[in-house]
Structure 1
């Protein structure tokens, strides 16, 4: 997941690397204007030098490295294997174990060969799909398609490639065909006099629509993608071998990255990530159009993107940034996303673009009553901070302010909701942990070839000393994992949620490549985001790959899927160091955890969620899809019938009433949008079974502690 990078002011070692590299490079960088290939070589050299000297764990550039780059690059440029044929691969394969030497020699002939061949094959593909879509497909034939592209061989020859295109196009049209047939049936039900379109008419419309989408997609590839765009794909196939969070930004990509860092943009308010199966929704930004629409959710795979009433474009094989470019757009315009839901169903979702406000990335709080006691909930989407202007809002100050407001409401316990929190500032999370403990270490940070540095709570004052529960899920990463781990290690509270958090235990910095040369006739060289440090819990264990394991595990849709950093091929390994000296509180939560597990085991909704998770796990390996219309419809009918059973999960609603605090209620009279956002949040919590069980847990902590301060050296068993 590509999250906001964590900056540290003490990264003087990186400054030393920058200075050393600059001194070396200034001595031989040519001043005269060069052609683009020379610029490519320069960027390649800069990247390898920065990575070798500045990356936390430099990878040896050898034959094994070469093989991984080779296969990753081919996967990136032809993921569904519909362009290259085996003779191309035979020609390319001689480079499979020599890319390491070529990278060090700044030899880009492999890129030149593959790029020119790819563009040639793409041009040939136009004729293939135009010919195939010129006549109807036979949907009565008993045949199927295997969509396990990772394990499929490349097409043997051009005729085999045409057959592959035929099946892929047939699957695409079959999906659209069944959708349109259902739409016709619904129109007939609504209006008995409605004259349904014939199968032949619908089939022809689907082929025409598919042809238009492909034409637009290939026009986009030919007209909008430059050599620099293709070369950036090649470069990232190299740098991502170091770890998943190391990434090269071309000048255009760096500009977009800077815009995203500012926190405001016009679009749908969703973060995307490239997965093997395609482009996935990794996070919805609270308050954004997608979030308000309630239809799109994390885990959805985007298949097509349509602008307003225009026919949608198939995004298979399209670069992540190019998908983002298609989805973003001016406020007030419509984008239609064809998505594959986590349960395998296909859905078209219409979203009106809007200004995505940074306000909804800030902390917010609510109060709720249970059994005569009042509890506070703080939702924190990220650990934000402004490094340029310390007077701006940051998560530490905002959470501290929310705690004071909640304390004024005489709360009996506090829930910190860090679900989907992708991280942020290391400095901020260290100070925030300090709101809940009197003193002591919070996290350990290690740079290459240096002893670990212990980062302590900078303030001995305790802002809140009552019962505390931290909520996490599979997408809680980085700084949120530091917070949950510290609370867990100190036994300051209970961590609840998914089996484990994301497992990102590394720190990145963005390095501007232009700083390494005094002047350049090549223009902007872009930037490199690279991993420079690793952080560890105070107990000595790393969160890398393993994440933070919940004290109480809630069943969720992803319970049986292996998600997170551990799913990344090039992720840095888990390890541990010496623990820091700290004193955990003498509190025994065992009975509370046991009672929660008993409630979960007997709860019908949790049982259904677990059953749904098992069903999703069983379907994940279904790679063969029927291309026979009747069989395809039967498969859809079986899935739809199963989904009816799981609908009870979304229909769930608890009996609690969540309320805004007095200062926010006063704002609602003037800010109806804010009121709407908070009402939507409260409505979500009413439908959130995880919140309900978390309230049960914090009530039990309240009974255990009997109102005593949890930051004192107590023995509570």
Structure 2
């Protein structure tokens, strides 16, 4: 078993001994909120990879960022509001260092006042029929736009904004009715418009209700993250509840009843039931049930949760494995039931690695396919799941089947555990360096696979895209530098080449028990470097073979983020491997390019990229129904050219390994999800080309 550190990619566990050794020299004074911002800035200054002066320049950038974050759609503030905020433009640094929130408080006051007036406006607007024949045009505003001059202009923008929303829904409804073959009388245009306005009004009422109910701690956290974002996009303040949610996403498991919840008017509604979880096994709780009250096993009285936010309801429903929670629920038919559920470990298995066999035209041809959605790790449980361990198991199963090659699919994989990616890279190479990590001041560490064993020594293709980030980029870069795998995908991966650690702020300040917990700081402390010395930061990993992508013309990835760290370079590490060397890379590229050029689907994908770019850039929309219909029809006709782009089965022989079927067949939902998974793989042209590339590798190797 390879050694496993606690170093994580997107976040690292709090290193208590390290932090204890660097406690602040003084305890900041003030209330909890004042302490949080002062401790936050102090830790940023002392430990961030690239510290900056908290000065007027910092203040200006944070000012712009926060206002854009608060009102990116330009629906709430006017230039008059901005003028009221302007005196604080160069004061945020001084206020934060003093533990003050003057700018935040002023913005919140204007925000609440704007909610009051815009709520009246949208209700007035949506309570009157729109003139669907009246021509006009709306130029949609975003965070690159200025704010309108005054309330009069803002109200007009709201009217145009809501009309455009209603027009879109009318056109969608008309298209839906055109397909109606029931023979039922169809509503008139006036009836459609009235019904949509009513539903839109309900939607906006709920939106405003959610904004008004947002806790002050959530809004303050948003402000604090405007400050942390000035350092880099991945440094972040998390409230205690936010950290708990992060841990659940990272590990892929939680202790509770296995249901996701949403606010629904006064109560909380069951949105989904996690297959295999306690609620699913118990069979009484169902989607759309309204939870009215919660009772713990050691309590006699129910806790009324009316008007309670979901994040607070969840705290009462989650709990330790083996304990019981009783829910008083209202069923869709109006009946009231009390449902007791024993909490257990809930595994979110869609995050975990899984594999398939993909057969070829010739008898005996078979390629192993491993899909890895994230580099998950559960350090908090003895039986926790780890991505490296799971991928190793999948490799062993595929080896037993004698596959001709393996495809490791990291598309959309945003990263995760660094220790797992180091171990996983080691499955394909003998012991050696995997990634270099450099901290503040240039201190460098080389992270190595220390296990001489090689779990798979055959042809390997790694699939990536613009969503492949962090740990995904590390393994892709290492296998590319070792010339061990062919990296295939879109023009570049995401470009996140930084390391974060979690700092429990309580551990960085002595005393103050009355204001703790303070929350957690996710802090960028290091950069990743490839073993060839180049950073993955900003530039990402450029695949050996680039395939057309519908999003290729959009600006994506780290370079779109606020304040990203720059690309840099250090000395390369000493590395080499003799397990499997990619031969004749130029010939592989030539053959792939020829196939892509003659492939109609890839040709359509390239054309569709231009359409996606035009749609993304569009900011102007007509405000008469006839003009909107014409615009929509033209857009639909263009989109129809690419409809069914991935409907053709290109990988007809896709099947599960026998060892997996027992687990899959335990319930109908898993069977259905597995069938959907196999169907998607069977129609995936990128997997098809990866198989073709593996075939080329085998053929060229045999010659």
SS of 1:533's equivalent?
Answer: strand
Q: Does 1:379 align with 2:371?
A: yes
Task: State the distance in 2 between where 1:669 and 1:106 align.
Answer: 57
The whole-number CA distance in structure 1 between the counterparts of 2:157 and 2:331 is 33
Residue 649 of structure 1 corresponds to 645
> For residues 211 and 392 of structure 1, what CA distance do their matches in structure 2 show?
46
Cα distance per residue 1:450-495 (max 9 Å; x no partner): 4211112211111111111111111111111111111100101100
Identify which range, 668-677 or 419-428, moves more after superposition: 668-677
Conserved 8 A contact 1:396-1:431 = yes
**Residue 259 of structure 1: how far off its partner (Å):** 3.6
Task: Report which stretch shifted further, 574-583 or 225-234.
Answer: 225-234
> In the alignment, does 2:226 pair up with 1:237?
yes
Q: C-alpha separation between the residues in 2 aligned to 1:48 and 1:527?
A: 13
1:339-385 alpha-carbon deviations (Å, 9 max, x no partner): xxxxxxxxxxxxxxxx9842232221111222342221111112222
Q: Is the partner of 1:692 in helix, strand or coil?
A: helix
Task: Tell me the TM-score normalized by structure 1.
Answer: 0.82
What's the offset of the Cα at 1:180?
2.6
Superposed CA offset, 1:100-154 (max 9, x none): 2222222321111111121112112222222222322212122111113223322
Q: 1:288 to 1:563 in 2, by over 3 A?
A: farther
Does residue 459 of structure 1 match 2:451? yes
Partner of 1:191: 182
- How far apart, CA to CA, are the structure 1 residues paired with 2:473 and 2:310? 30
Residue of structure 2 equivalent to 1:409: 401
Q: In the alignment, which residue of structure 1 is the partner of 2:685?
A: 689
Matched, 1:594 2:590: yes
Cα deviation, residue 55, structure 1: 1.3
Question: Does the aligned pair in 2 maintain the 1:287–1:360 contact within 8 Å?
Answer: no
Tell me the equivalent position of 2:237: 248
Q: Quick one: which of 382, 387, 393 aligns to 1:395?
A: 387
Tell me the SS of whatever aligns to 1:649. Answer: coil
State the distance in 1 between where 2:73 and 2:310 align. 16
Contact kept, 8 Å, 1:420 with 1:474, in 2: the verdict is yes
| Contact residue 250 and residue 377 of structure 2 kept, 8 A | no
Query: 1:713 corresponds to which residue?
Result: none
User: Could you tell me how far 1:5 is from its partner in structure 2?
Assistant: 5.2
Q: Measure the CA separation in 1 of the matches of 2:493 and 2:591.
A: 23
Measure the CA separation in 2 of the matches of 1:287 and 1:488.
38
Q: Which piece of structure 1 moves more, 411-420 or 386-395? A: 386-395
Shift of 1:156: 1.3
Partner of 1:16: 18
Displacement of 1:197: 1.5
Cα deviation, residue 7, structure 1: 5.2
Please say if residues 11 and 522 of structure 2, whose CA atoms lie closer than 8 Å, have aligned partners that are also in contact: no
Partners of 1:403 and 1:191 lie apart in 2 by 52
Secondary structure of the structure 2 residue equivalent to 1:376? strand
The alpha carbon displacement at 1:705 in A equals 2.4
**Cα shift readout 1:570-593 (whole Å, capped 9, x = no counterpart):** 111111100001126663321112
**Alignment partners' CA distance in 1, 2:312 and 2:534:** 40
The counterpart of 1:69, out of the listed 24, 37, 62, is 62
CA deviation string 1:434-460 (max 9, x = no partner): 111122211101121242111122111
Judged with a 3 Å threshold, the aligned counterparts in structure 2 of structure 1 residues 334 and 594 are, in CA distance, closer, same or farther, namely farther
Deviation at 1:596, TM superposition (A): 0.6
Select the residue among 534, 542, 549 that pairs with 1:541: 534
Matched, 1:138 2:134: no
**Contact persistence 2:74–2:141 (CA under 8 A):** no
Partner of 2:348: 358
Instruction: Tell me the equivalent position of 1:658.
Output: 654
Once the two structures are TM-superposed, the CA of residue 235 in structure 1 deviates from its matched residue by 0.8
SS of alignment partner, residue 355 of structure 2: strand
How many Å apart are 1:390 and its aligned residue?
5.6
Indicate yes or no: 2:149 matched with 1:149.
no
The answer to whether the Cα contact below 8 Å between 1:185 and 1:196 also exists between their aligned partners in 2 is no
In structure 1, the residue matched to 2:607 is 611
1:221-370 superposed matches below 5 A: 221-222=211-212, 224-264=213-253, 357-370=347-360
For structure 2, list consecutive stretches of 5 or more residues without a partner in the other structure. Answer: 1-7, 263-273, 278-286, 291-308, 319-326, 333-344
**8 A contact 1:478–1:505 mirrored in 2:** yes
Distance 1:260 1:20 in 2: 30
From the superposition, tell whether residues 376 and 185 of structure 1 become closer, same or farther in structure 2 (CA, over 3 Å).
closer
Structure 1 residues 388 and 365: CA distance shift in structure 2, 3 A = same
- Deviation (angstroms), 1:333: 12
Asked if 1:206 corresponds to 2:196, the answer is yes
- CA distance in 2 between counterparts of 1:172 and 1:434 reads 52
**TM-aligned CA distance change 1:197 to 1:392, over 3 Å:** closer
Compute the displacement of 1:269 (Å): 12
3-state SS of the aligned residue for 2:105? helix
Superposed CA offset, 1:678-700 (max 9, x none): 32221111110111111010011
Q: Is the 8 A contact 1:668 1:674 kept in 2?
A: yes
How far apart, in 2, do the equivalents of 1:593 and 1:287 lie? 43
- From 392, 416, 436, the equivalent of 1:424 is 416
Deviations 1:190-236 (A, max 9, x none): 133x22212222222222222222222222222x2232222111111
| Residue of structure 1 in register with 2:175 after alignment | 182
Residue aligned with 2:195, SS:
helix
Equivalence map 1:525-564=2 (5 Å)? 525-564=518-557
- For residues 425-440 of structure 1, what are the structure 2 equivalents within 5 Å? 425-440=417-432
Structure 1, unmatched stretches of 5+, are: 271-285, 290-306, 311-321, 336-354, 707-715
Residues 181 and 664 of structure 1, relative CA distance in 2, 3 Å threshold: same
User: Is 1:703 the equivalent of 2:694?
Assistant: no
1:300 is matched with which residue? none
- Contact 1:395 / 1:428 at 8 angstroms: preserved in 2? yes
Q: Equivalent residues in 2 for 1:164-183 (5 A)? A: 164-183=157-176
Structure 1 residues 360 and 86: alpha-carbon distance in aligned structure 2, compared to 1, 3 A threshold: closer
Q: Does the CA contact (< 8 Å) of 1:29 and 1:517 recur in 2?
A: no
**1:630-649 to 2 correspondences below 5 Å:** 630-649=626-645
**Which deviations, in whole Å up to 9, do the C-alpha atoms of 1:577-616 show, x marking residues without a partner?**
0000112666332111210111111111100111111111
Match of 1:712 in 2: none
